Amino acid sequence: GGMFWLLGVTPTEAQIKDIADWLLECHGDSTGLSTDSLADAGYPGAASLGDAVCGMAAARITSKDFLFWFRSHTAKEVKWGGAKHHPDDKDGRRMHPRSSFKAFLEVVKRRSLPWENVEMDAIHSLQLILRGSFQDIDDSETKTMIHARLNDLRVQGIDELSSVASEMVRLIETATAPILAVDSGGLVNGWNAKVAELTGLPVEEAMGLSLVHNLVYEESVETVERLLYHALR
């Protein structure tokens, strides 16, 4: 009974649901997964996806909501040039260009192009923004605005991860709700205009401070530490 929004070449809705169920069952403690080969990652339905889908990056937004990016196998993405050889040219000691090239194609057909660090950084940034937006913000007007803008981005076909991430950062920065972000060490790396207004602490002074040790009252340290621990797992 879930809802799906598909853009570009993707598995079917039923296949995506099956992938999501597999992630929840086998990677339930993780906030996401990236792989250049779903088969090697252990997804049992990888063979049924065909040539169109091989690699995947998944980001978990809520307990039931995911963002997925899919890639086809490398052999489909790269223009290859093979060496020719004479049919009578036989040598039992090594593979000939044509046979070795065929074997190479069989290998790369099982893998997509790898996910680059900049792409994973953009995915992670977008994931953190959306998780904070949809789980922690009580401002329904802000939620509605973000939902609407995401839909606009989808309709316009903007699929560059860095562009989407930058747009979401802008939306959060101008949101009417106070929003802050911390890195894995609990240091502030996001501080929007509204939280700066409410706290009186400008962004340039807030960045890099410890949320627990610099920004909360002593009596709240234990509570915030516990919440932060669960949020960053």
What pLDDT shows up at residue 13? 92
φ/ψ of residue 216, rounded to 5 = -120, 155
Task: In whole angstroms, give the CA distance from residue 169 to residue 146.
Answer: 11
Q: Which of 216, 194, 116 is nearest to 162 (CA)?
A: 116
Task: In whole angstroms, give the CA distance from residue 39 to residue 46.
Answer: 5
Task: In whole angstroms, give the CA distance from residue 202 to residue 195.
Answer: 9
What pLDDT shows up at residue 175? 72
CATH number of 1-77+101-119: 3.30.450.270
- DSSP-assigned letter for residue 203: H
Percentage of residues of the chain with pLDDT beyond 90: 16
- Residues of the chain with pLDDT below 50 are 80, 83-96, 104, 155-158
What pLDDT shows up at residue 94? 45
Residues 55-108: tens digit of each pLDDT: 999 998 888 889 999 988 776 555 545 544 444 444 444 444 555 555 545 555
What pLDDT shows up at residue 191? 86
What pLDDT shows up at residue 141? 57
What pLDDT shows up at residue 109? 62
For 3, 55, 66, 184, 192, the CA distances from 49, given in Å and listed in that order, are: 20, 11, 19, 35, 42
Q: Where in the chain is the domain with CATH 3.30.450.270?
A: 1-77+101-119
